């Protein structure tokens, strides 16, 4: 006779569906893409949803705080406080962080773009044009490197192959 541990039961697992996570990460990313598109291209929520292959309902579920309602229309706010998981290039290599608002996420993305441009062309003008390069993450400052020598060292070590958004 098989004894079952207290608090557990033996059952046929084929009858049960696997656990589904509460948040669909791909849907969250599509919602954030739709929000960015509606800001950048000044398109409606419906059009941005269609272009990112999602529904307005899903966009509002995951990125609704990035919109304000005017009558029947949803207008994108200038910035939002939707947290995003990003990979940041630090002086010690890539590091996963949570950007707490769209302005910080945009600054991190501009830095990643400037680093990529420098590595492809050797032109430091985009690195020089970056404004704020220090951010607080969990109460601690994180400095984004703009020194070409540091970036070259990281590139030689193979540290620069990473995805910006962590999905």
pLDDT tens, position by position, 46-79 = 999 999 999 999 999 999 999 999 999 999 999 9
What is the Cα–Cα distance from 12 to 107, expressed in whole angstroms?
51
Question: Can you give the pTM of this predicted structure?
Answer: 0.77
Give yes or no for residue 148 having a pLDDT over 60. Answer: yes
- The confidence score (pLDDT) of residue 32 equals 94
- Report the Cα–Cα distance between both ends of the chain, in Å, rounded: 46
Q: How far is CA 143 from CA 75, 85, 86, 164, in A?
A: 34, 17, 15, 16
What are the beta bridge partners of residue 85? 98
């Amino acid at each position: 006779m098989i004894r079952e541990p207290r608090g557990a039961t033996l059952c046929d697992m084929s009858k049960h569906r696997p656990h589904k996570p509460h948040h669909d990460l791909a849907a969250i990313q599509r919602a954030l893409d739709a929000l960015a598109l509606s800001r950048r291209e000044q398109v409606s929520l419906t059009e941005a949803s269609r272009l990112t292959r999602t529904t307005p309902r899903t966009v509002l579920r995951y990125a609704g705080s990035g919109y304000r309602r005017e009558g029947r229309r949803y207008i994108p706010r200038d910035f939002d406080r939707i947290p995003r998981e990003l990979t940041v290039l630090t002086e010690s290599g890539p590091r996963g962080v949570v950007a707490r608002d769209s302005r910080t996420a945009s600054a991190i993305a501009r830095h990643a773009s400037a680093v990529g441009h420098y590595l492809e062309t050797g032109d430091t003008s985009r690195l020089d044009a970056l404004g704020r390069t220090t951010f607080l993450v969990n109460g601690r400052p994180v400095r984004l490197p703009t020194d070409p020598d540091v970036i070259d060292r990281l590139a030689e070590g193979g540290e620069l192959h990473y995805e910006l958004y962590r999905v």
